Amino acid sequence: MTLLSSRPARPVEPALLSKALEVAGRLANDATDVITATAGRGARPETGDTPFDWVTDTERILERHTRRVLTAEFPGVPVVGEEFGADLGADVAEYRWVVDPVDGTANYVAGMPWCAFSLALVDSSGPVVGVIADPYRGQIYAAARGRGARANGTPVRLSGEPVRTTGAIICTELGRGGAWPGMAGFIEQASAAHAGVRVLGSAALSVAQVALGHAGAAVLHSYHEWDVAGAVALAIESGAVVMDRHGEGNALPSDGLLVAAPGLAEVVLDWWRGTALSRG
């Protein structure tokens, strides 16, 4: 098992880190105001490919606003967003912004208090800066490479103390088509180890719970970069383990994502890989 922390990340100019944190924090506060003012109040969803694959006016408005600000503040840095796709050259640029204006749209539309705004600056090593707005809890979570993670300005760091499976909360999310292959077996293994699995409807907040020390691990069988890049920045800076389904350290792997407290990473990885192998 290769921990992400064993792989050096590219250095980033301090001035860029500071400016990116400031601008992303401002945008997260803007998003908090919009989401709390509109959630569950005539959001006018447009149904996509599945009954819960919704797009709302709020998402479009927030992403347009985010793109305008980022383009003005960081000219030449492309933006990749859930609603409007990738700017030209985003796949080869030194840096790119990735944004999900409302992660947890179905919850937002229903007025359930569990959704987030996610924004991250990313380079070839992974997230450089990540900011998550957790509107219903009045929290802004922010992290920058080498500068640690904070929740409303208060430093966040995992204790490093041993974590037991008994009583641990393990987060996961459904795929576009529902339960992911092996998910039932994964839940059974967690239950047998006296851990509880939660499917809460926001990949960004699921990963953030690990960084904050509320959950022991989060497993995402599949995801989009904009869903998790901001939260992965928090996880890395808080001391969590970040890896792919093969146990290799990778900040934004292409084949599934595991984020875990160090003491739980290996056992949760075994549950995940075991259920996949059992399906052939």
pLDDT, tens digit (0-9, with 9 covering 90-100), for 23-66? 999 999 999 999 999 887 755 555 555 544 556 889 999 999 99
Residues in contact with 101: Cβ distance below 8 Å, sequence separation at least 6, in sequence order: 31, 58, 59, 60, 61, 62, 63, 66, 81, 82, 83, 117
pLDDT grade for 177, boundaries at 50, 70 and 90? confident
| The pLDDT value given to residue 22 | 98
Residue 280 resides in a domain: no
Chain position carrying tokens 């994964």: 186
The radius of gyration computed from the CA coordinates of the chain, to the nearest angstrom, equals 18
Asked if residue 187 and residue 87 are part of one domain, the reply reads no
Asked if residue 179 and residue 59 are part of one domain, the reply reads no
Range of the domain at 263: 169-274
Asked if residue 139 and residue 64 are part of one domain, the reply reads yes
Nearest to 261 by CA among 165, 185, 175, 190: 165
Q: Which 3 state secondary structure label does DSSP give 51?
A: coil
| The pLDDT value given to residue 148 | 97
113-127 mean pLDDT:
96
Residue that is last in its domain, among 156, 178, 202: 156
Nearest to 164 by CA among 211, 203, 216, 201: 216
Residue 162 resides in a domain: no
CATH number where 198 lies:
3.40.190.80
The yes-or-no verdict on residue 209 having pLDDT over 70 is yes
Residue 174 resides in a domain: yes
Q: Is 49 annotated as a binding residue?
A: no
Asked if residue 78 and residue 141 are part of one domain, the reply reads yes
Residue 262 resides in a domain: yes
110-124 mean pLDDT:
95
Counting the structural domains of the chain, the total is 2
pLDDT grade for 162, boundaries at 50, 70 and 90? confident
Of 277 and 188, more confident: 188
Asked if residue 102 and residue 30 are part of one domain, the reply reads yes
Residue that is last in its domain, among 132, 156, 180: 156
Residue 8 resides in a domain: no
The yes-or-no verdict on residue 79 having pLDDT over 70 is yes
The yes-or-no verdict on residue 265 having pLDDT over 90 is yes
Residues in contact with 265: Cβ distance below 8 Å, sequence separation at least 6, in sequence order: 1, 3, 217, 241, 243, 258
CATH number where 112 lies:
3.30.540.10
Q: Rounded to a whole number, what is the distance in angstroms from the first to the last CA of the chain?
A: 22
Instruction: Return the bridge partners of 123, or none.
Output: 126
Residue 141 resides in a domain: yes
Residue 163 resides in a domain: no
| The pLDDT value given to residue 56 | 81
Instruction: Return the bridge partners of 155, or none.
Output: 150
Q: At what angle do helices 183-192 and 265-278 cross, to 10 degrees?
A: 140
Asked if residue 203 and residue 106 are part of one domain, the reply reads no
Asked if residue 145 and residue 25 are part of one domain, the reply reads yes
Cβ distance 95 to 121 under 8 Å? Answer: yes
Task: Report how far residue 234's alpha carbon sits from residue 141's, in angstroms, rounded to the nearest whole number.
Answer: 7
63-75 mean pLDDT:
97
187-198 mean pLDDT:
96
| The pLDDT value given to residue 3 | 47
pLDDT > 70 fraction of the chain, expressed in percent and rounded: 90
121-134 mean pLDDT:
96
| The pLDDT value given to residue 44 | 55
Q: Is 123 annotated as a binding residue?
A: no
The yes-or-no verdict on residue 160 having pLDDT over 80 is no
Backbone angles phi, psi at 38, to 5 degrees: -120, -15
Asked if residue 145 and residue 28 are part of one domain, the reply reads yes
Residues in contact with 230: Cβ distance below 8 Å, sequence separation at least 6, in sequence order: 98, 118, 119, 120, 127, 130, 131, 132, 141, 204
Residue that is last in its domain, among 102, 127, 156: 156
pLDDT grade for 2, boundaries at 50, 70 and 90? very low
102-120 mean pLDDT:
94
Which amino acid is located at 261 in the chain?
Answer: A
pLDDT > 90 fraction of the chain, expressed in percent and rounded: 76
Q: Is 103 annotated as a binding residue?
A: yes
Asked if residue 70 and residue 23 are part of one domain, the reply reads yes
